[in-house]
Amino acid sequence: MNSDSYLAQAAGQTDFVARHGLWDDEQKAAATEVEARLDSVDFVRVVYGDPHGIARSKTVSTEVFRTVLRNGMDFSPGPFVFDTGHAVAVDFFAEGGGIGIPELTGAGDFIVVPDPRTFRVLPHTGRPTGWVIGDEHLRDGSPHPLSGRAVLKRQCDQLAARGLSYVVGLEVEWYLTKKTGDPLARPGGFGVQGGPPAVEHVNGGYQFNSDSLLDAVMPVIDPVIDALLALGLPIRTVEHESGPGQLEFTFSPMDGLDAADAMLLFRTVTKQVLARGGHHASFMALPGLPGFDPSGWHLHQSLADRATGRNLFVAEPGADVLSELGMAYLGGLLEHAPAASLLCVPTINGYRRMRTGFSLSPDRIAWSTENRGAFLRVLGANGDPGSHVENRIGEPSANPYLYLASQVSAGVDGVDNQLKPGPPAGDPHSPEALPLPTTLVEALEGFTASDHYRVTLGGALHEALRLMKTSEQARYDEWRTGGGAVRDDEVTEWEHSEYFATY
């Protein structure tokens, strides 16, 4: 067998991209540019985001990637069937993998096709290494039913057909800590997380927006900032939040798919750069460490005219706080809030923000202008060109593709059905408003009953997420039944082990 034949077999399928017409003209041009850059790297990481929003990859030599770029790469479906603790949640030995996908039966491979528009060279690796996000496909060329990126691409393509684009600004809080001792004190297993990294605080916190606290950690996070800028991510602001070592990064508005890709890259690279320097980054909502304050991922969103870029949420002078389209979009977000919660807040730990009396964390299905206690906060109202809606319930560990898809699909449903959001809430925590889910169990109930998200995600992904989150909850309940200490006002050892390192 000659080397070219071997490389073709090591990849997905010969001429997979061309045979199935998977690239548009922009991607074809980008692929040519990528090929011209490959002489400067030794390896390329082929990456996709799993249903939990975690980057999964294979690192291939440049020689192999030249074949993979246009043929795709075979991947095992393990991350499609494991819950957050690596327990098998989807029975892949059942017919159709238990969720109606024949190729999943018996853990059959799928194909990841690199999106050449996402190719970057990582600035923090010693060996020159590329990084590219791929799209998951079945062997017939169709998008994989469990691909979150495919779901968001579908939503954005549907908007494009209507002459619209989804505009997203990321505002993400996370924790910086310093590693101490053995970071892997206890090995993990299937359904059992390993011991969380042993860490210490980098400061005492609780001096919000302190310039001195931020400056003190800048020598640690400067390499992160350098890496993100080198990767082309549009950093807008960096600030110190309330908790000890709690930071917030915001990014300039991006197209919806670009924003989700950026979030996947941001979380992954931040964790990697800091780990190389002996520190730990965690996007867990509320780590089980003394004195820590919850972190959120606030999603800023609007719709724009695709041809002109004009913000379509801007109200006419003297009209409502948002345009008619913007108000209907707001109505859709409110209508689907109970079911969307699972995609905005997908972990057991994330619901601690919403049920322990944190005044800046939403707990009711309500909207307001400027009020930070509201689930949906309208900013720049009454004709401001920057008018948009901020969703304040998201947790930093949410799957970026599913979080964004949950929002735009709900908002567009509101537009199509001219849903009315009602008046703004004077008190966003008022018991008169309907409550948001306060536990993963409640969120699962709303999500499972939602025909809207069953259609948006597709039946297979909807069912896979239900099974994964049910498995996660069952393992937590089993830990509690076995004598695990639980107090409503404290993060449990189980949560800290489950999420602190993984996210």
Is residue 383 domain-resident?
yes
Q: Which residues contact 183 (CB under 8 A, 6 or more apart)?
A: 197, 198, 280
Q: Which residues contact 310 (CB under 8 A, 6 or more apart)?
A: 304
Statement to judge: residues 206 and 240 lie in one domain: yes
Is residue 148 domain-resident?
no
Statement to judge: residues 183 and 225 lie in one domain: yes
CATH at 428: 3.30.590.10
Enclosing H/E stretch for 68: helix 62-71
Lowest mean pLDDT among 8-12, 302-306, 480-484: 8-12
Provide, rounded to the nearest whole percent, the portion of the chain with pLDDT above 90. Answer: 75
Statement to judge: residues 448 and 303 lie in one domain: yes
Statement to judge: residues 275 and 384 lie in one domain: yes
Statement to judge: residues 135 and 167 lie in one domain: no
Enclosing H/E stretch for 266: helix 256-276
Select from 143, 169, 186 the last residue of a domain: 143
Select from 118, 143, 168 the last residue of a domain: 143
Statement to judge: residues 298 and 440 lie in one domain: yes
**pLDDT for residue 185:** 57
The single-letter code of the amino acid at 350 is: G
Structural domain range at position 41:
3-143
> What SS3 state is found at 279?
strand
**pLDDT for residue 101:** 84
Stretch 34-42: mean pLDDT, rounded? 95
Give the separation between CA 496 and CA 221, rounded to whole angstroms.
23
**pLDDT for residue 1:** 44
CATH at 34: 3.10.20.70
Is residue 457 domain-resident?
yes
Position of tokens 């889910």?
437
Is 6's pLDDT higher than 60?
no
Tell me the residue length of the chain. 503
Other Cβ atoms closer than 10 A to 2:
7
Statement to judge: residues 134 and 185 lie in one domain: no
- Write out pLDDT tens, residues 129-157: 999 999 999 999 999 999 999 999 999 99
Q: Quote the number of domains for the chain.
A: 2
pLDDT band at 5 (very low <50, low <70, confident <90, very high): very low
Statement to judge: residues 285 and 397 lie in one domain: yes
Statement to judge: residues 272 and 306 lie in one domain: yes
Select from 115, 143, 171 the last residue of a domain: 143
Statement to judge: residues 225 and 351 lie in one domain: yes
Provide, rounded to the nearest whole percent, the portion of the chain with pLDDT above 70. Answer: 94
Statement to judge: residues 264 and 403 lie in one domain: yes
**pLDDT for residue 459:** 95
**pLDDT for residue 343:** 98
